[in-house]
Amino acid sequence: MVLNWHLSILTALSTMIQRKMRIPLPFKFVILVLAMLCAAPVLAKSVEIETKHRGIRLVGVSLPLTERQDIEIMALAPAMAKIKKAIERIYKGTKFSAERIETLKKNGRVTLVYDAGFPENRMASVIIAAFFPDFFQIEKGGLKEFLVVIGRFGIKWPTDKLAAVIVHELVGHGLQHLRGRTEKDRKIDKECEALIYEEKAYQDLKVRRDTRDMQKLRRDIRDKWCSDFRAHLTRKGLNADKVWNYGRPDVSKLLVYFNAYIDHLRKTGVAGKAVAAAKSKREDNVAEAERRVEATGSALDMLRIGNRYLKGIGVNRNPRKGVDWIRKSAEHGHAQAQHVLGILYNAGFGLKKNAVEAYKWMSLASKRGIKKAKLARRKLKTRLNTQQLHAADKWIAKWRPKRRG
């Protein structure tokens, strides 16, 4: 089993910096939906179960009946019970990790989502779970959102290993996000730190170290994710193996060395240059995607580009440009884009608020089977007068998708 569940398709999301913007309350849910729409299936589905355990919000989302998966899917009820059990193992078995989760809870909302459709089948072999930084600032007290998605593979892991994975994602990447390091540090360093926290969980939970997957994990830590950190220790005249306590580190002490290493990278500009280069590459990728879409007319790619502009993923945040791309996708007949455009019109995000336009696009999306669009359409309908409804329904009846090219 491949243990590197941090995926390249989430790089843009996991490296986003918290924008210094105050976003009005009605837009919060809109922005979170849009930000995750193209990278993860979580919020595009219906929430079937929502509860809390030890102050952690637990969410189970439905899997479309038409969606085929590559393994037998664990049902929502036992999956949620499994997550609760993993949380209990953290709180009762690794005080070090539990204390840090409490820190996150004091500074925001902690959410664990079970989504059997995560990840997409084509990426399934490399993704167990993933951390999503928040995409808005909760207004009261500057609180943050810490959200981890657990997929169909991760939910079947032994409870102790699942608990360690949750520590990796929630504690490791959550603390980075809390401290504003999400975009400042290189991916290799963020992974190294998260793996150090995961190692502590394995130690505390007394997970066997002699299994094949655990041996591979430690090789990956030593030779891949923490290789630069270890090289830094050597350059400082330290014995990296000794600092690492020959494979069984004192994590509290190791993190002191790691923080000094991060400070060194920032002072020397190594991290900043690497992040800037990565950002430049992402911007080039967006520009290339725009050129490709103009040639192919792919409505799905139009939606993805629009999402990137709305959230500033790899480009400077530009809501109006994002809306333009989403509108193009909607006009080409993409049902999800039509739903999103309806949301934007209803909220007045990136364009002028307009209930009539919201109703039109929600109606088109609902005809294509988007359940949430059907519910939204019903609510919008009650806000329109007879004349507005007649004009909107006439427009809907005549509407046809644009042709490619």
Q: Is residue 404 part of a domain?
A: no
Say whether 140 sits in a helix, a strand or coil: helix
**Given its phi and psi angles, is residue 314 left (phi above 0), alpha (psi -120 to 50 degrees) or beta?**
left
* Same domain, yes or no: 262 and 322: no
Same domain, 303 and 388: yes
Q: Which of 208, 243, 268 is the last residue of a domain?
A: 268
- What whole-number distance in Å separates Cα of residue 243 and Cα of residue 335? 55
Domain boundary among 211, 233, 268: 268
Residue 100 falls inside a structural domain: yes
Shared domain check, 223 and 77 = yes
Do 258 and 348 lie in a common domain? no
Same structural domain for residues 125 and 168? yes
Range of the structural domain that residue 344 is part of: 273-398
Question: Helix, strand or coil for residue 54?
Answer: coil
CA 130 to chain centre: 6
Residues 211 and 305 in one domain: no
Residue 295 resides in a domain: yes
Are 97 and 134 members of one domain?
yes
Residues 127 and 253 in one domain: yes
pLDDT digits (tens, 9 = 90+) for 209-224: 889 989 988 888 988 8
In this structure, the answer to whether residues 152 and 245 fall within a common structural domain is yes
Of 237, 268, 299, the residue that ends a domain is 268
What's the domain count of the chain? 2
Summarize pLDDT for 60-98 with one digit per residue, the tens.
Answer: 987 654 455 667 889 999 999 999 999 999 999 999 999
Is residue 28 predicted with pLDDT exceeding 50?
A: no
Residue showing tokens 């190791």:
254
**247 shares its domain with 389:** no
Strands 129-133 and 47-53, bridge-based pairing = unpaired
The tokens describing 9, both together, are 């398709």
Query: Is position 240 within any domain?
Result: yes
- pLDDT category, 198, cuts 50, 70, 90? very high
CA distances from 251 to 30, 90, 194, 204 (A): 39, 16, 11, 11
SS3 of 112, please? strand
pTM of the full predicted structure?
A: 0.62
Lowest mean pLDDT among 108-117, 170-179, 182-191: 182-191
